[in-house]
């Protein structure tokens, strides 16, 4: 286990608020990473996705880097713009 993972685990065990906020922040970060990876797999630049969504490159950057406040409809449109579809799965928390 890496030092970072060990730190996060130990801190989460001591601090419930940290654990909750870490989980939320990680989920938001992961959404942005998934969107960026889908765009890159499609061979598209942020400019090209922006053109398809009729927005600016800065808006695409914000979606990919700060996915904490993105509407589901925007994620669906983004997915379509990069040639994918949005699928949502609910899983039991561990």
> What is this structure's pTM?
0.72
Instruction: Write the pLDDT tens digit of every residue in 39-75.
Output: 999 999 999 999 999 999 999 999 998 877 889 999 9
Of all residues in the chain, the percent with pLDDT exceeding 90 is 51
Query: What gap in Å lies between CA 76 and CA 85, rounded to an integer?
Result: 7
The reported pLDDT for the residue numbered 94 is 66
Q: Using only the alpha carbons of the chain, give its radius of gyration.
A: 16
Closest alpha carbon to 32 in 2, 73, 12, 60: 60
- CATH numbers and ranges of domains, the chain: 3-81 (1.10.260.40)
Query: What gap in Å lies between CA 7 and CA 46, rounded to an integer?
Result: 35
Rounded mean pLDDT of the chain? 88
């Amino acid at each position: 286990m890496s030092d970072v993972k060990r730190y996060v685990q130990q801190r989460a065990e001591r601090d419930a608020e940290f654990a909750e906020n870490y989980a939320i922040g990680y989920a938001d970060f992961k959404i942005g990473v998934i969107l960026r990876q889908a765009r890159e797999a499609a061979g598209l630049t942020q400019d090209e996705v922006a053109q398809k969504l009729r927005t600016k490159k800065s808006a695409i950057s914000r979606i990919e880097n700060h996915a904490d406040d993105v509407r589901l409809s925007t994620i669906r449109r983004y997915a379509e713009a990069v040639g994918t579809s949005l699928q949502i799965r609910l899983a039991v928390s561990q």
